[in-house]
């Protein structure tokens, strides 16, 4: 897992390397400190190590799904203020509702606009200069 120091920390959780690389580049360029978890197990470990301002979370992963990761995060006092954005190909209304019930602050379906995603991250964790 890679991390740099900055005012706002974002955890990107996705098992698709291309998505991880593009989000990491986009967020670092925008001034965020980015940590990477490539599956649900790595995400749970990262969450235990320290709080994040925003977690970008895929749902469908090979080990632990994003719903479980989100519910776990919501149970931890250190993450009470953490914002969770689900990024998922699951676009049925029932899937979206399940995401919000798990504790998501926002649910975006794949494919998503990186510009729109960055705007949402900035709304949830604004960087002041």
Q: Which two tokens stand for residue 122?
A: 């900035």
At residue 4, does pLDDT exceed 70?
no
Q: What percent of the chain has pLDDT over 70?
A: 93
Q: Report d(CA 59, CA 82) in Å as an integer.
A: 17
Please give the tally of structural domains in the chain: 1
- Asked whether residue 58 is assigned to any structural domain, the reply reads yes
**Entry pTM:** 0.91
- Asked whether residue 51 is assigned to any structural domain, the reply reads yes
- Asked whether residue 129 is assigned to any structural domain, the reply reads no
- Asked whether residue 4 is assigned to any structural domain, the reply reads no
Say how far residue 55 (Cα) sits from the centre of its chain: 3
The position carrying tokens 């519910």 is 71
Q: Which two tokens stand for residue 99?
A: 């995401």
Task: Give pLDDT tens digits for 50-83.
Answer: 899 999 999 999 899 999 999 999 999 989 899 9
Q: Report d(CA 89, CA 108) in Å as an integer.
A: 9
């Amino acid at each position: 897992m890679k991390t740099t120091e900055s005012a706002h920390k974002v955890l990107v959780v996705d098992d698709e390397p291309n998505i991880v690389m593009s989000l990491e580049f986009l967020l670092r360029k925008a001034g965020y400190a980015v940590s990477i978890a490539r599956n649900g197990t790595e995400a749970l470990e990262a969450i235990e190590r320290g709080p994040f301002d925003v977690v970008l979370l895929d749902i469908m992963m090979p080990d632990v799904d994003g719903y479980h990761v989100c519910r776990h995060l919501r149970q931890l006092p250190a993450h009470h203020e953490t914002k969770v954005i689900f990024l998922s190909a699951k676009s049925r209304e029932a899937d979206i509702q399940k995401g919000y019930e798990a504790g998501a602050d926002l649910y975006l379906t794949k494919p998503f606009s990186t510009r729109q995603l960055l705007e949402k991250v900035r709304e949830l964790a604004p960087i002041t200069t």
